[in-house]
Amino acid sequence: MRSELFFILDGAVKTAQAEASLPKVELPPWELTPSKEESHGDYASNVALVSAPYFKMSPRKIAEILVEHLDDTNNMIEKVEIAGPGFINFFIREERWLMELAGIPEAGDDWGRINLGQGEKVQVEFVSANPTGPLHIGHARGAVIGDVIANILASAGYDVWREYYINDAGNQMQTLGRSVFYRYRELGGEKLVFPENCYQGEYVRELAKEIWEREGGKFLSQPEEEAINFFADYSGQKILEGIRADLKAFGVEFDCYFSERELYRQGAVEVLLQELTEKNFIYEEDGSRWFRSTLYGDDKDRVVVRRTGEPTYFAADLAYHLNKLSRGFKKLIDIWGADHHGYVPRIKAGLRALGYKEDTLRVILVQLVNLLRDGVPVAMSTRSGEFVTLREVLDEVGKDAARYNFLMRRSDSHLDFDLEVAKRQSMENPVYYVQYAHARICSILRMAEERGIETTGCIEKSSYRLHLPEERALIKAAVRFPEIVEGAALMLEPHRVTFYLNEVAGLFHSYYNRYRVLGENEEETQARLFLINALRVVFRNGLTLLGVSAPERM
């Protein structure tokens, strides 16, 4: 609807220019937005205001000319007003709104699906935690945000690929191996001081026990370095299995887990270095090889190969991004913890040096989560082994509440996650507010069926036009859903969907308390059933986008 109106208004500009009623100059971008206030109609445009300096005319005069040139072929406009400094306010005909509403149940699960992406291949990389321990709550936020961004992009018509990158070539995996190996030796009766820089968590003991039970004490006699390799591989794999299972329970699944070792196996780092060298972006200094990232906005050049001949983590990471692009993805989206923000300029510099456009890679920084219990911070550290795992949170508060909580703030703002609050079934916990709206609608529909009222009718059957202000507001809100998906997809902001759903739920609850859907008047009942049926679709599709269930009873 908005795009149709936009087309009409844009057409008016062009016609007026063709007729020389307006000067033929290029216009800056202008807007057509849903009006905030009812007296301003349904949609408002600032085109006359924005174009005034370009046309060198007064905004109101421009508005008048544009209004004269509107070609409303489908007869959707009730009236047009020029208001304030020069806004053009559009009032849409009631019939048109009902038509839009009717499109919602018709579209069903596809309501909210748009073709913004036009099938473009996009990769979302997220979580990417090293398998040195179970996922904790800090990872959970990034997991949900990545997952929902992927959902939104898919709904917006992109061809989405979800990937988890495993940094398994570095020494963290060796540390894990050593940690488990030491615990294993303890099981063999050895008294040793467990190193402080090893992983302290209970899961390390469990892995050691597992190996002991399967393999016995045979590694006690092996050289440490050899044994550690086995322990690292075994433990990493086991932990990764656990991570996968936890993520799955959290509603997050990946198309691919990509290993850093695989990257080396393919020689990707060499290819990268060669390419950078050919393009003259590499120089040597102090025995190290440096990449001139400052040429592309980084604040200093970066080492890519150390004196030892070993590529840096940065080199591998850049090679990985190049690898992604070589697989045909047109856009890359990385979800990172905000503590890695310093990394953004250098990776972007690398991609630009290799000839990719600035916006090829978009990095979403996710701020850390403060975990609280009844307002008291819960201390966490992977190394010390003190952390609340994702699994524990899931078991305690459930998937829906956990996910919804992570989606209630912008990614880049700090988030307090209170375990006790997340368990409460009140408005402190808006997930239930939205789910309740859905369940309520389902309940009404059930009741209607029990009473033998037709619930799947079409709006044309009823003479009742849903003309109440509350009904108009609900229709508009429901019709706006695809625009919300579009905005969330463009800005990569999942929280927009969350806020939207809260808003629509609020409108609905309010409406429900004030008016009866199943009332005395049959025509009215039919029309209202039609309305809430459309709302049910909006709630279900919206919640599905968030990976949250839409229960029919609660």
Q: Which of residues 65-84 bind RNA (CB under 7 A)?
A: 83-84
CB nearer to RNA: pick between 324 and 440:
440
Amino acid at 455: T
How far separated are the first and last CA of the chain, in Å rounded? Answer: 35
Per-residue tokens: 231: 């322990």
DSSP state of 389: B
**Binding range to RNA, per CB under 7 A, among 119-127, 166-174, 325-333, 408-416:** 408-416
Indicate which single residue of 516, 521, 522, 523 sits in contact with RNA (rule: CB under 7 A): 516
CB nearer to RNA: pick between 44 and 180:
44
Q: How far is the CB of 2 from RNA (least distance, A)?
A: 7
CB nearer to RNA: pick between 227 and 489:
489
CB nearer to RNA: pick between 353 and 529:
529
Task: Scan residues 289-348 and list those touching RNA (CB under 7 A).
Answer: 299, 338-339, 341-342
For residue 384, the tally of other CB atoms under 10 A from its CB is: 12
* Cβ neighbours for 248, distance < 8 A, ≥ 6 positions apart: none
Q: From CA 312, how far away is CA 105, in angstroms rounded?
A: 54
Angstrom distances, CA of residue 20 to CA of 7, 70, 86, 180, 274: 20, 15, 21, 80, 58
For residue 43, the tally of other CB atoms under 10 A from its CB is: 22
Q: How many residues bind RNA (CB under 7 A)?
A: 73
Torsion sign over Cα 283, 289, 292, 294: negative
CB nearer to RNA: pick between 199 and 511:
511
Q: How far is the CB of 83 from RNA (least distance, A)?
A: 4
Indicate which single residue of 205, 244, 383, 410 sits in contact with RNA (rule: CB under 7 A): 410
CB nearer to RNA: pick between 168 and 524:
524
Q: How far is the CB of 515 from RNA (least distance, A)?
A: 6
Q: How far is the CB of 281 from RNA (least distance, A)?
A: 20
Decide if residue 425 touches RNA (CB under 7 A): yes
Q: How far is the CB of 314 from RNA (least distance, A)?
A: 12
Q: How far is the CB of 415 from RNA (least distance, A)?
A: 6
Q: What kind and span of H or E run contains 257?
A: strand 256-259
Task: Scan residues 178-237 and list those touching RNA (CB under 7 A).
Answer: none
Q: How far is the CB of 484 from RNA (least distance, A)?
A: 7
Instruction: Annotate each residue in 468-507 with x if it binds RNA (CB under 7 A) or - if it does not, as one string.
Output: ------------x--x---x--xx-x-xx--x--x---x-
Residue tagged 């990614």 (tokens): 411
Task: Scan residues 337-396 and list those touching RNA (CB under 7 A).
Answer: 338-339, 341-342, 365, 367
Indicate which single residue of 416, 460, 522, 523 sits in contact with RNA (rule: CB under 7 A): 416
Angstrom distances, CA of residue 383 to CA of 176, 195, 200, 208: 10, 11, 6, 17
The string of DSSP letters for 402-456 reads HHHHHTSS-TTS-EEEEHHHHH--STTSHHHHHHHHHHHHHHHHHHHHHTT---S
Q: From CA 499, how far away is CA 550, in angstroms rounded?
A: 16
CB nearer to RNA: pick between 394 and 445:
445
CB nearer to RNA: pick between 75 and 513:
513
Contact assessment for residue 244 and residue 166, using Cβ atoms and an 8 Å cutoff = no
Task: Scan residues 235-294 and list those touching RNA (CB under 7 A).
Answer: none
Give the distance, in angstroms, between the CA of residue 518 and the centroid of all CA atoms in the same chain: 38
194: three-class secondary structure by DSSP: coil
* Cβ neighbours for 3, distance < 8 A, ≥ 6 positions apart: none
Decide if residue 535 touches RNA (CB under 7 A): no
Task: Scan residues 87-146 and list those touching RNA (CB under 7 A).
Answer: 87, 89
Decide if residue 517 touches RNA (CB under 7 A): yes
Nearest to residue 471, comparing CAs of 110, 33, 105, 101? 101
Task: Scan residues 28-67 and list those touching RNA (CB under 7 A).
Answer: 31, 33-37, 39-40, 44, 46, 49-50, 52-53, 59
Task: Scan residues 426-455 and list those touching RNA (CB under 7 A).
Answer: 426-428, 430, 432-433, 436, 439-440, 442-444, 447
CB nearer to RNA: pick between 256 and 554:
554
Indicate which single residue of 248, 295, 515, 523 sits in contact with RNA (rule: CB under 7 A): 515
Residue tagged 């600032």 (tokens): 46
Measured in degrees and rounded to the nearest 5, phi and psi for residue 487 equal -60, -45
Q: How far is the CB of 244 from RNA (least distance, A)?
A: 28
Q: How far is the CB of 488 from RNA (least distance, A)?
A: 9
